[in-house]
């Protein structure tokens, strides 16, 4: 045993020693690696090297760069400043930010620095490309390519670009499934590059093959320079060779043809320009130039197009202003229609490019934000549209009408759109920067840049840190307008296309493509709807694998609010039938998930404070106020609810019964005296309003009668506009709602001040408002008049609006089911409330509790016609519900009426059958199948008060009246509680008590 223990400790010691040795070796090697690069500094220059880290031996910080993306440069810039050193892709690198520093780099071309892309890029693209040329060869190459992007050439490209963009936008709208914008934009720009610039008329299948091949080239363009089997460099070379083989066939055909005066593509312009400059281009040069044209036009323009779409959808005011400019120039905004363009069950999603500036974890060497796609020689050289892709008339399924043909002159007149494109390129430049190599040691910002080291300048960081931009974090196209002209304040503060002799030669073409795309999107109503959906669902959590619920997001900015408000029941029924128990929509300015079904609703109600929190639409929050119970959270909500609950204790409810009986008897007597027709709903609302004013707010009877009509009318106006668009301008719904609320507040304040002045007098009972006032005094808090007014308004709303809806439904259902009325009367007779001895009976809580059948009648009424159809929540975090993800920040509406409708525990759901609640209590078998009062910590605070009130109402009604519905069963509407459209005209007559 001793020997085993010794052996065990020896093994541990060996392992520990090995680990320590490895760690020491790594530490020493890292220090030697850093020392090795410090020794390469120019000793004749006294300036220090920039601050920074060279990483690990051989690999440097390459893996950190690849894995951390843009955060790699951001973290080091914050730590070391605008100039720092690192080691990437096998080379020592100086990273540079800031207008003055970049000016020195860009204007120092051929003197201080020379373009030198990573070795893998130079190998794959070839030595004859513009990005890899230097000195006189670069000047000659650029001169030849200048004709490709001349004014005459661009004018030739524009109609074909417009045709291709239209076709692509049409396909987006016609797509019933999901649209990933970035891949779609890349497909668009690839077609532009291949069919317009290179003039390749290939079948779609072959075009897809070429696109995948080019994608493989792009993926391996920035790789370790190791040409071994299965390496990234080897894969990139293989893809390039396939493309060269295809290009060679086209080029040979062109060389064999006689050149005409009108050139149809960039290769023609290039060959012509070469002849004019006494230069004969070899097949190899033409092949490499052709691939470079695709390279320049492909990912960068696709990235910029994606960013343009995102920014337009994020900023509706910008999109609207751009549309107005189009209208002023004779464009038919929203007049373009698509045949058969329908919303599908599967909504589109945005997939932001891995290298996009949209994605903070992106790589600076990927397509947009990173892979410096433009070496600032040939970046956005993209146009689109084959010569035959823009027919005068289009077949069915395409556009039914077109915008006018665009031209350079027409595009140049769209000044605001030009500002929009500039701001997109400022905030989200498609390329992060460019590479250079130091030709000699020179000084930059107080540091030495040693000869032979690589220099990487940052476009994105320079834009973000430029002091000339006011609020640079904001998307504000007006900064480039004539009034501000921030873009002209310093030449090198805005460099999306680089600068100096290496500035992007195709920048005008890139801007043309972006403008044409914007024109087609903004002037196409259906495209706007599709892109609205794309933008909204881009809010899904990418870390959650579950899909978003099915559904549609409606019109841009309005969503489906108008349909829901105008056709609520039909709208919701259609949605449920089409999408099931969970679906997404856009209501009251927010993306929303609507939920029904016991299990789904249970998860929402029991997830309060963990998964969801109460959040009513902005209009409701504004009108009711932040001090109302429904808008309070956590401890504030618990404390306020505890105080209000005292107003609904058993003793308090017993105290309220005489007041309720008095008001109900008075109202029923008036209805009987009327003799002809009573509009039940408005009459019941007035009755419930009087009861709520007296019981909940403590209004004296004489004050109640005096203020009743004005207050009821004001409440009607406030409630009518409770759910409206959150736009507070004269005559808007929110404006009218606030005006009505302010009148209500003024009356309530009079009552509060009267209560405070009578603080030494003992009242008959303490209403809810009195309890709130006393709670403030008990806690030593100052009397917050605004909070008290808001709480009182909410009590009036909850205390009369919902009970009025339920009482009206009772009249409606019992008017259709006389047998139920007879059963209620039999129960009243059995309990001694109806008949010869009924006069001696005093109504109390205990007696009302014994009315079991009447309780079932009320339950059945609330099952079929719950006063409140649902409630609002907001997701506190992304969570899964029935296989779908509910993204953080989205609204969640749980539906009470739909949950009742779909509950399997209720047989013959459409029948009015109170007996279903007599034999067993269905709500006990599945607690969340029956939720007229909600559930969880947010269940209705006044539900016992409502039950007592409805029972007393039904007792008095059935004791005194017979009634007939004059219009038969009414159409029910919601706004915000359920009510009959015709106000339920009813004839009441006296009931002759047969039990006497």
**HEC-encoded secondary structure of 390-402:** CCCCCCCCCECCC
**Long-range contact list for 325-329, CB < 8 A, 24+ apart?**
325/414, 325/415, 325/416, 325/417, 326/414, 326/417, 326/519, 326/522, 326/523, 329/410, 329/413, 329/414
d(CA 669, CA 858): 23
Residues 719 and 667 sit within 8 Å (Cβ to Cβ): no
**Measured distance CA(741)–CA(74) in Å, rounded:** 50
Distance CA 948, CA 849 (A): 9
Give me the sheet containing 433-438, strands edge to edge. Answer: 83-88, 91-96, 454-458, 433-438, 113-114
Question: Is there a common fold for 130-298 and 614-990?
Answer: yes
CATH topology of domain 614-990: Cytochrome p450 (1.10.630)
Lowest average pLDDT, out of 359-373, 716-730, 737-751, goes to: 359-373
Average pLDDT over residues 744-748: 86
The residue ranges of every structural domain in the chain are 130-298, 614-990
pLDDT for 194-226, tens place per residue? 888 887 777 777 888 888 898 899 888 888 888
Q: Is 891 helix (H, G, I), strand (E, B) or coil?
A: strand
Structure-token match 């679906």, residue found: 583
Quickly tell me which residue has 């105290």 as its tokens. Answer: 655
**CA dist., res. 65 & res. 62, Å (int):** 5
Q: Are 585 and 572 in contact (CB under 8 A)?
A: no
Q: Is there a contact between 247 and 179 (Cβ–Cβ < 8 Å)?
A: no
Q: Which of 109-118, 157-166, 925-934 has the highest mean pLDDT?
A: 157-166
Tokens for 656, please give them.
């309220």
Name the superfamily (CATH) of residues 130-298: Cytochrome P450 (1.10.630.10)
Specify burial of residue 79 (Cβ count, 10 A radius: 0-12, 13-18, 19+): exposed
> Which pair of structure tokens corresponds to residue 914?
């109170």
Q: Nearest 5°: CA angle at 138, between 132 and 144?
A: 115
Give residue-wise pLDDT tens across range 345-372: 333 333 333 333 333 333 333 333 333 3
One-character DSSP codes across 646-679: GGGSHHHHHHHHHHHHHHHHHHHHHHHHH-S-EE
Decide: pTM greater than 0.75. no
pLDDT at 440 over 90: yes
pLDDT tens digit sequence for 16-48: 777 777 677 767 777 777 776 777 777 788 899
Rounded to whole angstroms, how far apart are CA atoms 683 and 672? 13
* Average pLDDT over all residues of the chain: 80
Neighbour-count burial for 401-414, b at 16+ CB within 10 Å, e otherwise: ebbeebeeebbeeb
Does pLDDT of 921 surpass 70?
Answer: no
Q: Give the contacts of 165 (CB within 8 A, at least 6 positions apart).
A: 188, 384, 385, 513, 516, 517, 520
User: Which tokens belong to 498?
Assistant: 């680089």
Residue 920's pLDDT is what?
64
- Between CA 223 and CA 233 the distance in angstroms is 6
* Residue 678 CA, distance from chain mean position: 48
Tell me the residue length of the chain: 996
Half-sphere exposure of 178 (CA within 13 A, CB side): 13
- Report d(CA 655, CA 941) in Å as an integer: 18
The per-residue pLDDT for range 543-596, each reduced to its tens digit, is 888 888 998 887 766 778 777 777 777 788 888 888 999 999 888 778 899 999
Specify the higher pLDDT residue, 818 or 1. Answer: 818
The mean pLDDT of 646-664, rounded to a whole number, is: 87
User: Phi then psi for 9, rounded to 5 degrees?
Assistant: -70, -30
Residue 491, pLDDT above cutoff 90: no
pLDDT confidence of 262, banded at 50, 70, 90?
low
The tokens describing 940, both together, are 């209705």
**7 burial level (CB within 10 Å; 0-12, 13-18, 19+):** exposed
Q: Are 92 and 418 in contact (CB under 8 A)?
A: no
Cβ neighbours of residue 448 closer than 8 Å, sequence gap 6 or more: 41, 42, 45, 47, 48, 49, 441, 442
Cα torsion through 265, 271, 274, 276, rounded to 10: -90
940 is in an annotated binding site: yes
Please, where are the H alpha helices in 675-801? 680-695, 701-720, 733-757, 768-778, 785-796
What band does 343 get if pLDDT is binned at 50, 70 and 90? very low
Range 449-470 burial, b when 16+ CB lie within 10 A, else e: bbeebbbbbbbbbbbbbbeebe
């Amino acid at each position: 045993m001793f020997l085993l223990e010794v052996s065990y400790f020896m093994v541990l010691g060996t392992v520990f020693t090995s680990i320590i040795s490895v760690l020491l070796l790594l530490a020493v090697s890292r220090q030697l690696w850093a020392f090795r690069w410090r020794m390469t500094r120019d000793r004749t220059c006294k300036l220090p090297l920039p601050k920074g880290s060279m990483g690990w031996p051989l690999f440097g910080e390459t893996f950190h760069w690849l894995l951390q993306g843009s955060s790699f440069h951001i973290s080091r810039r914050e730590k070391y400043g605008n100039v720092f050193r690192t080691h990437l892709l096998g080379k020592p690198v100086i990273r540079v930010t800031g207008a003055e520093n970049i000016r020195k780099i860009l204007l120092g071309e051929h003197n201080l620095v020379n373009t030198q892309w990573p070795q893998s890029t130079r190998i794959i693209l070839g030595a004859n490309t513009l990005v890899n040329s230097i000195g006189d060869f670069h000047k000659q190459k650029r001169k030849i390519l200048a004709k490709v992007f001349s004014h005459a050439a661009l004018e030739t490209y524009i109609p074909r670009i417009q045709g291709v963009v239209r076709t692509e936008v049409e396909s987006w709208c016609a797509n019933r499934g999901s649209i990933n914008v970035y891949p779609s934009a890349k497909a668009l720009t690839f077609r532009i590059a291949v069919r317009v610039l290179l003039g390749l008329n290939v079948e779609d299948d072959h075009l897809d093959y070429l696109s995948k091949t080019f994608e493989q080239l792009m993926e391996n363009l920035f790789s370790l320079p190791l040409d071994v089997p299965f390496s990234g460099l080897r894969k990139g070379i293989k893809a390039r060779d396939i493309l060269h083989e295809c290009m060679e066939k086209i080029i040979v055909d062109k060389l064999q043809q006689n050149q005409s005066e009108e050139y149809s593509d960039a290769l023609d312009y290039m060959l012509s320009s070469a002849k004019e400059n006494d230069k004969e281009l070899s097949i190899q040069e033409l092949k490499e130039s052709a691939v470079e044209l695709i390279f320049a036009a492909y990912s960068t323009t696709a990235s910029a197009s994606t960013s343009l779409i995102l920014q337009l959808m994020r900023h509706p005011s910008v999109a609207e202003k751009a549309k107005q400019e189009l209208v002023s120039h004779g464009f038919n905004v929203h007049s373009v229609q698509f045949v058969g363009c329908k919303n599908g069950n599967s909504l589109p999603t945005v997939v932001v490019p891995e290298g996009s500036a949209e994605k903070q974890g992106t790589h600076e060497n990927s397509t947009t934000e990173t892979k410096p796609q433009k070496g600032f020689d040939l970046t956005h050289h993209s146009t689109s549209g084959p010569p035959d892709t823009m027919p005068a008339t289009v077949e069915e399924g395409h556009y039914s009408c077109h915008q006018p043909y665009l031209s350079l002159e027409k595009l140049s007149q769209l000044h605001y759109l030009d500002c929009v494109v500039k701001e997109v390129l400022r905030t989200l430049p498609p390329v992060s920067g460019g590479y250079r190599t130091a030709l000699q040691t020179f000084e930059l910002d107080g540091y030495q840049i040693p000869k032979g080291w690589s220099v990487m300048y940052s476009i994105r960081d320079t834009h973000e840190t430029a002091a000339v931009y006011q609020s640079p974090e904001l998307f504000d196209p007006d900064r480039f307008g004539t009034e501000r002209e921030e873009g002209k304040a310093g030449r090198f503060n805005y460099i999306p296309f680089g600068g100096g002799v290496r500035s992007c030669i195709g920048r005008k073409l890139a801007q043309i493509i972006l403008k044409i795309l914007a024109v087609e999107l903004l002037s196409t109503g259906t495209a706007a709807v599709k892109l609205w959906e794309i933008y909204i669902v881009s809010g899904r959590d990418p870390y959650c694998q579950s899909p978003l619920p099915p559904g549609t997001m409606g019109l841009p900015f309005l969503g489906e609010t108008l349909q829901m408000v105008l056709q609520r029941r039909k709208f919701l029924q259609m949605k449920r039938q089409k999408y099931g128990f969970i679906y997404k929509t856009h209501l009251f300015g927010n993306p929303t998930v609507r939920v029904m079904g016991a299990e789904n609703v249970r998860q929402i109600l029991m997830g309060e404070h963990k998964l969801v929190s109460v959040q009513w639409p902005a209009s409701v929050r504004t009108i009711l106020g932040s001090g109302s119970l429904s808008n309070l959270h956590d401890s504030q909500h618990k404390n306020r609810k505890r105080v209000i609950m005292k107003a609904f204790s058993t003793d308090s409810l017993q105290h309220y019964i005489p007041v309720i009986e008095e008001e109900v008897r008075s109202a029923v007597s008036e209805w009987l005296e009327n003799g002809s027709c009573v509009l039940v709903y408005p009459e019941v609302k007035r009755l419930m309003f009087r009861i709520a004013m007296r019981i909940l707010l403590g209004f004296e009877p004489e004050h109640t009668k005096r203020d009743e009509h004005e207050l009821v009318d004001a409440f009607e106006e406030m409630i009518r506009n409770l759910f409206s668009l959150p736009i507070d301008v004269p005559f808007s719904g929110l404006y009218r709602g606030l005006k009505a609320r302010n009148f209500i507040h003024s009356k309530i304040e009079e009552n509060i001040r009267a209560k405070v002045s009578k603080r030494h007098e003992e009242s008959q009972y303490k209403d809810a408002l009195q309890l709130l006032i006393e709670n403030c005094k008990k806690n030593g808090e100052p009397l917050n008049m605004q909070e008290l007014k808001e709480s009182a308004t909410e009590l009036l709303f909850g205390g009369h609006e919902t009970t009025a809806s339920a009482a009206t439904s009772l009249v409606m259902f019992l008017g259709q089911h006389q047998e139920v009325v007879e059963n209620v009367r039999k129960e009243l007779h059995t309990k001694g409330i109806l008949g010869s001895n009924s006069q001696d009976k005093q109504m109390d809580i205990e007696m009302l509790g014994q009315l079991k059948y009447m309780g079932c009648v009320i339950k059945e009424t609330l099952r079929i016609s719950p006063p409140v159809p649902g409630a609002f929540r907001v997701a506190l975090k992304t969570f899964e519900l029935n296989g779908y993800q509910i993204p953080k920040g989205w609204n969640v509406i749980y539906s009470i009426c739909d949950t009742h409708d779909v509950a399997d525990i209720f047989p013959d759901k459409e029948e009015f059958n109170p007996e279903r609640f007599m034999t067993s209590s269905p709500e006990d078998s599945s607690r969340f199948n029956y939720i007229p009062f909600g559930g969880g910590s947010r269940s209705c605070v006044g539900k016992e008060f409502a039950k007592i009130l409805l029972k007393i109402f039904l007792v008095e009604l059935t004791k005194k009246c017979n009634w007939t519905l004059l219009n038969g069963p009414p159409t029910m509407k919601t706004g915000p509680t359920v009510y009959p459209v015709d106000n339920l005209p009813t004839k009441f007559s006296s009931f002759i008590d047969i039990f006497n």
